[in-house]
């Protein structure tokens, strides 16, 4: 099995990032698994120069190692794979162009619940169904558009049964999760109007290609997990072959290979001329099928004011802490305390935590945490920060 670190190089790592990295590393290493590093620099406008190098330096300083070379989402090789994945979805009739502006979306979408999701009302999906010639003309004219992946059970597919509309999984920490895909996720952008591939698509393609089967990250991504599982199932259903398993597709598909990973009906509408083939990807790759990774979502870490720690809060980042002489054992010990692995924030090394790592204590108590200097459990070095 394989785990991964997937930091976004948008700033220096802070306590909350170190806590997530430690959890991911312990999850993999306590099982004797591989740990890979992927630098999530797909959203180039958010990337800060040198942040990747500093992140790697901080990981090593914390005693968190990884196997092999880091994978950069910005590399030409990865881009070629994202193109392939998108073509695969398009050939299966699972994506459509969306011409809605940000203002249109804000006006028409259901309010989101703080995790950034705006549920798309399906405007351009209906446009394609009802007026395909108009879509064709707008594409020919070069109108600015994103590409969206269709959810099952939505407007265009009334024949789908209610069960198809759900994505369910058991999270290692938060337990059983059930998301209604059209209602709680909605048709989502896989390529942005500015031409960049969307995070939601590239993470799935990367995890497939890198053979990642354990994903540890913040609970703000629970809903994204439902979407990513759908994208993953759609890709596999559409015949996308992960690089990690290109040599042994049969063993990779496991029980889902009953009859093979059948390609979906090919009905391209990338040119706006076709109709949606129907979103039946997940039916061939049921929610319980073995090719989905195991997920562990973590409680979020807030600051004393109850707001989620952000990379712009420099006082708690590794640069500031290291400059003040804080040791890696102090940071790791505090993160272990936040993960409920230790009763207090006594310094310890990451390696010391490997042998009795378990999700059990966090599963038992997974409220969000706060780094609160007024809390008696807060170590002195943090109170001073
Ligand atoms: N790059 C994301 C972050 O830094 C993590 C995405 C993931 O784990 O899939 O929050």
Please give, one letter per residue, the 3-state secondary structure of the chain: CEEEECCCCCCCCEHHHHHHHHHHHHHHHCCCCEEEEEECCCCHHHCCCCHHHHHHHHHHHHCCCCCCCCEECCCHHHHHHHHHHHHHHHHCCCEEEECCCHHHHHHHCECCCCCCCCECCCHHHHHHHHCHHHHHHHHHCCCCCEEEECCCCCCCCCCCCHHHHEEEEEECCCEEEEEEHHHHHCCEEEECCCCCECHHHHHHHHHHHHCCCEEEEEHHHHHHHHHHHHHHHHHHHCCCCCHHHCCCHHHHHHHHHCCCCCCCCCCCCCCCCCCCCCCCHHHHCCCCCCCCCEEEEECCEECCCCCECCCCCHHHEHHHHHHCCCCHHHHHHHHHHHCCCCCCCCCCCHHHHCCCCCCHHHHHCCCCEECCCCCCCCCHHHHCC
pTM: 0.87
State whether the beta carbon of 237 lies less than 6 angstroms from ligand 1: no
Domain residue spans of the chain: 1-72+299-385, 75-297
In this structure, which topology does domain 75-297 adopt according to CATH?
Rossmann fold (3.40.50)
Q: Which CATH class is domain 1-72+299-385?
A: alpha beta
pLDDT > 90 in the chain, percent:
69
State whether the beta carbon of 284 lies less than 6 angstroms from ligand 1: no
- In this prediction, residue 382 carries a pLDDT of 87
State whether the beta carbon of 7 lies less than 6 angstroms from ligand 1: yes
Lowest mean pLDDT: which of 38-47, 163-172, 190-199, 317-326?
A: 163-172
Distance 18 CA to ligand 1 centre (A): 13
- In this prediction, residue 119 carries a pLDDT of 87
State whether the beta carbon of 6 lies less than 6 angstroms from ligand 1: yes
Same topology, domains 1-72+299-385 and 75-297? Answer is yes
pLDDT at 253 over 50: no
């Amino acid at each position: 099995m394989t785990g991964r670190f997937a930091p976004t190089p948008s700033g220096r790592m802070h306590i909350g990032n170190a806590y997530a990295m430690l959890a991911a590393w312990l999850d993999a290493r306590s099982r004797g698994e591989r740990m890979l590093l992927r630098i999530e620099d797909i959203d180039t406008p958010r990337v800060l120069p040198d942040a990747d190098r500093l992140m790697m330096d901080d990981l090593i300083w914390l005693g968190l190692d990884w196997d092999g070379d880091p994978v950069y989402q910005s590399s030409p090789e990865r881009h070629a794979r994202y193109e392939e994945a998108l073509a695969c979805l398009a050939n299966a009739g699972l994506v459509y162009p969306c011409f809605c502006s940000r203002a249109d979306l804000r006006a028409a979408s259901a309010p989101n619940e703080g995790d950034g999701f705006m549920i798309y009302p399906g405007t351009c999906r209906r446009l394609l169904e009802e007026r395909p010639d108009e879509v064709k003309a707008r594409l020919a004219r070069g109108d600015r558009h994103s590409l969206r992946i269709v959810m099952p059970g939505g407007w265009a597919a009334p024949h789908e049964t209610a069960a198809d509309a759900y994505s369910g999984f058991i999270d290692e920490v938060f337990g059983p999760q059930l998301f209604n895909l059209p209602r709680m996720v909605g048709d989502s952008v896989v390529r942005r109007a500015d031409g960049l591939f969307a995070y939601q698509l590239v993470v799935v393609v990367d995890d497939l290609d890198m053979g990642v089967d354990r994903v540890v990250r913040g609970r703000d991504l629970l809903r994204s997990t439902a979407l990513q599982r759908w994208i993953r199932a759609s890709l596999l259903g559409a015949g996308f072959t992960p690089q990690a398993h290109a040599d042994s597709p049969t063993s990779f598909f496991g029980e889902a290979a009953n009859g093979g990973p059948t390609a979906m009906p090919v009905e391209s509408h990338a040119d706006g001329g076709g109709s949606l083939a129907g979103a039946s990807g997940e039916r061939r790759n049921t929610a319980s099928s073995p090719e989905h990774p195991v997920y562990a979502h973590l409680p979020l870490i807030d600051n004393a004011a109850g707001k989620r720690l952000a990379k712009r809060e420099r006082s708690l980042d590794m640069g500031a802490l290291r400059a003040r002489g804080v040791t890696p054992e102090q940071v790791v010990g505090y993160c272990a305390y936040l993960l409920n692995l230790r009763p207090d924030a006594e310094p310890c090394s990451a390696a010391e935590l490997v042998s009795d790592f378990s999700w059990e204590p966090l599963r038992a108590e997974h409220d969000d945490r706060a780094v609160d200097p007024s809390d008696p459990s807060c170590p002195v070095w943090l109170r001073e920060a």
